[in-house]
Amino acid sequence: MQMTSNTGPRLGIHQLLNLESVQLRLKGTQREDVLRELVEAIPVLKKESAARNTLFLALLEREKLHSTGIGDGVALPHARNALVGMVENPVIVFGRHANGVPFGAIDGEPSRIFFLVVAPNVTQHLGILARLSRMLRDPKLRQALLLAEKPDKVINLLKQAETDL
């Protein structure tokens, strides 16, 4: 299953990332700090401070309902529903934290790998979350993402993981 953008082409997870949206050295020590860093890394919202703030607040609200920390050191921050009109096409920001951040995951482990998901509609939103969840079940992929030294390596690892699904 691949996501279809509003313009028609089918997009894989790796195509929803770019070098600018891969953050290998998150610095925040709290969930809110990391969420802010991830939001600030969305290329299409760089000049849209109001949109970034709206998204940040929506993410905080979502975390109050139930943590997006899914365990095994992974969190998939996303707003409860797609934020219609915020982006034209789905966007993912990958973030990695060296030590991990308490994120309220069910296994109690800190999250080190983050995928912020922003989509223009609910279908794409749910499709991306489902695909990421399946991919990230693989402990080899999680380990490789923790060790990747450059953003292009992260993108290539995700491309390969999608091929292997």
CA–CA gap between residue 69 and residue 86 (Å, rounded): 23
Active-site residue identified among 14, 78, 97, 125: 78
14 catalytic? Reply is no
3-state helix, strand, coil in the chain (%, to 5): 45, 20, 35
Within its chain, how far is the Cα of 8 from the centroid?
22
Cβ pair 31, 102 in contact under 8 A? yes
Catalytically active residues, by annotation:
78
